[in-house]
């Protein structure tokens, strides 16, 4: 009976996510005001390489993730999960497409390979479903300070709007991944769940140090010290922390609380 009720709650949750992803439509041309100035030479120097890397990173085909989501769904009878995961992957691909259009508009070439992207994909593909989600959610934690820094570092209204729109999506992705991770951790006791959280903190600390060092010029231009960057990324972890420990985020901390 308990399992039956659990399955109904899961179905409802993932149907809500499918509904959300289905209706969350936006595109780059809507965000770029006519006559918006292109990046200054100084901005290009600071942002171009960084945006190229994130544009590449956002564009994964997600095939490994979708295969694992299908397997997990089959084993645990969570029927709406694969569809929601597919819609999530499409949303990440839209981030890549929109950033790509911005790069084209600025005549900045798109990257096809980068060692950091290659490393990230290799680690992800070695993992099972839960570990893969951990790697993915770490990217979501990092995305919050990253797109906030992009927003603050540029005067381009087009790029500022794109960054803000992506931030809104990433805030929802945090909640989505928190639901997925909570589902994976549901079979473990309290000790196991706190072990998962401790593991997230280790992975996030390493990823945050790597990303800050690779994009230091951007973060400095946006006025983000390492401590500010780190604290924003860890603040983003709250969505996962609360769902793993209490089942939900407190009402006083709504989704997108990181968006200023």
User: One symbol per residue from 47 to 66: x for binding Fe ion (CB under 5 A), - otherwise; what is it?
Assistant: -----------x--------
Q: Which of residues 114-153 bind Fe ion (CB under 5 A)?
A: 140
Q: How far apart are CA 207 and CA 191, in angstroms?
A: 24
* Interface stretch with Fe ion, choices 87-95, 102-110, 200-208, 241-249 (CB under 5 A): 87-95
Which residue has its beta carbon closest to Fe ion?
173
Shortest spacing between CB 41 and Fe ion, in angstroms: 28
Taking CB under 5 A as the criterion, the residue among 43, 170, 175, 179 binding Fe ion is 170
- Binding pattern for the stretch 6-45 against Fe ion, x by CB under 5 A and - elsewhere: ----------------------------------------
Smallest CA-to-CA distance from 79 within 140, 160, 18 is with 18
**How far apart are CB 77 and Fe ion at their closest, in Å?**
26
Backbone angles phi and psi of 181, in degrees to 5: -70, -35
The region of 23-31, 104-112, 167-175, 235-243 touching Fe ion under the rule CB under 5 A is 167-175
Among 165, 173, 193, 237, binds Fe ion (CB under 5 A): 173
Shortest spacing between CB 128 and Fe ion, in angstroms? 20
Q: Report the nearest approach of Fe ion to the CB of residue 90 (Å).
A: 11
**218 neighbors 156 (Cβ within 8 angstroms):** no
Least Cβ distance, residue 39 to Fe ion (angstroms):
21
Q: Supply 63's token pair.
A: 């095939």
Residue 55 to residue 98: CA distance in whole angstroms: 8
The rounded distance, in Å, linking the Cα atoms of 31 and 158 is: 6
Q: By CB under 5 A, how many residues form the interface with Fe ion?
A: 6
**Long-range pairs for 218-223: beta carbons < 8 A, 24 or more residues apart:** 218/46, 218/47, 218/50, 218/149, 218/150, 218/153, 219/145, 219/149, 221/46, 221/149, 221/153, 222/148, 222/149, 222/150, 222/151, 222/152, 222/153, 223/152
Q: Does 95 bind Fe ion (CB under 5 A)?
A: yes
d(CA 124, CA 122) in angstroms, rounded, equals: 5
Between residues 76 and 258, which has the closer beta carbon with respect to Fe ion? 258
CA distance 133 to 145: 20
Judged by CB, which is closer to Fe ion: 92, or 117?
92
Note the residues at the interface with Fe ion (CB under 5 A).
58, 92, 95, 140, 170, 173
């Amino acid at each position: 009976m308990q399992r039956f009720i659990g399955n109904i709650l899961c179905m409802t949750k993932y149907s809500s996510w499918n509904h959300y992803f289905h209706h969350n439509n936006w595109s780059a041309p809507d965000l770029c005001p006519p006559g918006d100035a292109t990046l200054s030479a100084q901005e290009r120097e600071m942002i171009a390489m960084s945006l190229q890397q994130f544009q590449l990173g956002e564009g994964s085909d997600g095939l490994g993730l979708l295969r694992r989501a299908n397997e997990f769904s089959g084993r645990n009878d969570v029927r709406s999960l694969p569809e929601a995961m597919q819609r999530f992957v499409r949303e990440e691909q839209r981030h890549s497409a929109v950033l790509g259009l911005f790069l084209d508009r600025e005549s900045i070439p798109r990257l096809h390979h980068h060692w950091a992207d290659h490393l990230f994909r290799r680690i992800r593909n070695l993992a099972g479903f839960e570990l893969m989600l951990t790697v993915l959610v770490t990217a979501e934690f990092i995305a919050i300070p990253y797109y906030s820094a992009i927003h603050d570092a540029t005067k381009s209204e087009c790029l500022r709007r794109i960054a803000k729109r992506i931030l809104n999506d990433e805030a929802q992705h945090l909640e989505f991944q928190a639901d997925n991770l909570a589902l994976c951790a549901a079979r473990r006791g309290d000790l196991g769940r706190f072990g998962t959280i401790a593991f997230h903190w280790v992975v996030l600390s390493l990823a945050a140090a790597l990303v800050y060092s690779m994009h230091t010029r951007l973060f400095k231009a946006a006025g983000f010290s390492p401590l500010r960057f780190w604290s924003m990324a860890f603040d983003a972890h709250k969505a996962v922390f609360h769902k793993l420990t209490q089942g939900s985020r407190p009402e006083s901390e709504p989704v997108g609380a990181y968006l200023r």
